[in-house]
């Protein structure tokens, strides 16, 4: 088989995926981009023509740009929290030899992904509501007199979103930590480094690809999330995803929703590229 034949055969393998993504992802994305430039009538119906006014609104009205900024900060916070919480769990999982216990632990970690995000989120609603478990414990133990306002608060949104996205950080971290060569740990300790120093100077740097991958996935997911914050924080939570949802479902202004979606997409792309680029620079410095 010639090299060219092999190449064509390789292309044939990915053709269904390319056709699928082009038809169901790229074409709608281009249509959405086109929609974001269409002017609207008094009732927000898209009209033929070209305008930059929707992007102007997104970038100048605090209702929209404030939501983009708030979303960015929230996504960064959630990504950091997810990595911090995922690391010990992934370390424990990666350190176990393959067997029943490791399988059980892994299933526990990924089990949230097996249920609907709405069901998982309603779990938080039940826990944090006025007569929910958390408030009952706080009132019952005498720590507070009246049930606290836990739902519709920003901390509740951050906690619930972190919970929903945590498996996306644990999985790549477990893979990265599981692939480490244990001879390097032994070498480090043989050369006089203690467990803490070995962890900080050997384990952490070598697991950094997993950390960055996990953080990127969680960050990207958190940038577009809206169901969980909508149910826990309410529609007043100023996240871009909720603003897009609002524009589509109640204001019926699809061009503004499209413009806001693209602004969100550009910010997400820039942020992930920057983080990926920074990691690449760090990697070059380390390995030359």
Partner 1 sequence: MKGIRLAAAGTVAALALAACGVDTGGTGGQSSSDARELTVTAFAGPWGELFKKSFVEPFERDTGTKVNLVYGANAEWLTKLRASGGKNPPFDVIAFTPDASRPAVAAGLLAPLDSAKLTHYKQLDPVLLSKSSYEGKQYGVPLTTGSLGLLYRTDKIKKAPSDWRDIFSKEYCGHVALPPLTYNPGLEFFSALVAQDGGKMSDPAAVDRAFKELEKLKGCVSSFPANAGNVSTAIENGDAWIIPFWDGRAFAMEQAGTPAGFVYPKSGPVGALTSYFVTSGSQNSELATKFLDYLTAAQNQKPFAQGTWYAAGNDSISYDKAFEDRIEHGPQVFEKFNWVDYTVATPKLNEWQQRWNQIFG
Residue number, 161 or 220, with CB nearest to partner 1: 220
Query: Per rule CB under 8 A, is residue 129 in the interface with partner 1?
Result: yes
Going residue by residue from 266 to 285, which x/- string records binding to partner 1, judged by CB under 8 A?
--xx--xx-xxx-xxxxxx-
Could you tell me if residue 18 is left (phi over 0), alpha (psi between -120 and 50 degrees) or otherwise beta? alpha
Residue number, 21 or 104, with CB nearest to partner 1: 21
Q: Which of 146, 159, 178, 196 binds partner 1 (CB under 8 A)?
A: 146
Query: Per rule CB under 8 A, is residue 221 in the interface with partner 1?
Result: yes
Angstrom distance (rounded) from CA 68 to CA 264: 7
Q: Which of 68, 72, 82, 151 binds partner 1 (CB under 8 A)?
A: 151
Q: Scanning the structure block, which residue is given the tokens 């939570």?
A: 237
Q: Which of 1, 17, 42, 119 binds partner 1 (CB under 8 A)?
A: 42
Going residue by residue from 191 to 220, which x/- string records binding to partner 1, judged by CB under 8 A?
------------------x--xx--xx-xx
Q: Which of 41, 145, 192, 288 binds partner 1 (CB under 8 A)?
A: 41
Full 3-state SS string of the chain: CCHHHHHHHHHHHHHHHHHHHHHHHHHHHHHHHHHCCCCECCCCCECCCCCCHHHHHHHHCHHHHHHHHHHHHHHHHHHHHHHHHHHHHHHHHHHCCCCHHHHHHHHHHHHHHHCCHHHHHHHHHHHHCCCCHHHHHHHHCCCCCCCCCCCCCHHHHHHHHHHHHHHHHHHHHHHHHHCCCHHHHHHHHHCCCCHHHHHHHHHHHHHHHHHHHHHHHHHHHHHHCCHHHHHHHCCCCCCHHHHHHHHHHCCCCHHHHHHHHHHHHHHHHHHHHHHHHHHHHHHHHHHC
Mark the segment that binds partner 1 (CB under 8 A) among 102-110, 178-186, 189-197, 234-242: 234-242
What are 118's two structure tokens? 């709405």
Residue number, 105 or 154, with CB nearest to partner 1: 154
Query: Per rule CB under 8 A, is residue 155 in the interface with partner 1?
Result: no
Residue number, 73 or 101, with CB nearest to partner 1: 73
Residue number, 105 or 208, with CB nearest to partner 1: 208
Q: Say if residues 223 and 264 touch (Cβ distance below 8 Å).
A: yes
Query: Per rule CB under 8 A, is residue 261 in the interface with partner 1?
Result: yes
Q: Which of 117, 125, 138, 180 binds partner 1 (CB under 8 A)?
A: 125
Q: Which of 20, 34, 63, 73 binds partner 1 (CB under 8 A)?
A: 63
Considering only residues 65 to 124 of the shown chain, the ones binding partner 1 according to CB under 8 A are none
Report the interhelical angle of 154-178 vs 204-224 (nearest 10°).
Answer: 140
Q: Which of 5, 60, 100, 131 binds partner 1 (CB under 8 A)?
A: 131
Query: Per rule CB under 8 A, is residue 132 in the interface with partner 1?
Result: yes
Query: Per rule CB under 8 A, is residue 23 in the interface with partner 1?
Result: no
Q: Which of 89, 223, 228, 229 binds partner 1 (CB under 8 A)?
A: 223
Residue number, 27 or 187, with CB nearest to partner 1: 27
Query: Per rule CB under 8 A, is residue 251 in the interface with partner 1?
Result: yes
Q: Say if residues 214 and 170 touch (Cβ distance below 8 Å).
A: yes
Query: Per rule CB under 8 A, is residue 153 in the interface with partner 1?
Result: no
């Amino acid at each position: 088989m010639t090299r060219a034949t092999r190449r064509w055969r390789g292309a044939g393998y990915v053709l269904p995926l390319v056709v699928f993504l082009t038809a169901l992802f790229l074409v709608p994305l281009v249509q959405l981009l086109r929609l974001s430039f269409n002017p609207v009538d008094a009732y927000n119906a898209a009209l033929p023509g070209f305008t930059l006014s929707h992007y102007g609104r997104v970038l100048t009205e605090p209702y929209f740009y404030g939501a983009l900024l708030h979303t960015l900060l929230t996504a960064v916070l959630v990504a950091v929290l997810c990595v911090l919480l995922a690391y010990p769990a992934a370390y424990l999982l990666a350190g176990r030899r393959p067997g029943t216990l490791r399988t059980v632990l892994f299933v526990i970690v990924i089990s949230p992904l097996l249920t609907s995000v709405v069901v998982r989120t309603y779990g938080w609603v039940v826990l944090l509501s006025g007569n929910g478990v958390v408030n009952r414990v706080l009132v019952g133990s005498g720590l507070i007199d009246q049930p606290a306002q836990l739902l519709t608060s920003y901390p509740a949104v951050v906690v619930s979103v972190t919970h929903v996205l945590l498996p996306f950080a644990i999985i790549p971290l477990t893979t990265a930590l599981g692939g480490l060569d244990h001879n390097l740990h032994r070498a480090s300790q043989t050369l006089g480094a203690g467990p803490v120093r070995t962890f900080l100077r050997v384990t952490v740097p070598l697991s950094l690809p997993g950390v960055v991958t996990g953080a990127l996935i969680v960050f990207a997911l958190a940038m577009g999330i809206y169901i969980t914050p909508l149910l826990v924080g309410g529609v007043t939570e100023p996240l871009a995803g909720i603003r897009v949802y609002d524009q589509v479902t109640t204001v019926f202004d699809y061009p503004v929703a499209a413009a806001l979606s693209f602004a969100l997409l550009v910010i997400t792309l820039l942020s992930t590229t920057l983080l990926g680029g920074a990691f690449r620079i760090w990697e070059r410095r380390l390995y030359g």
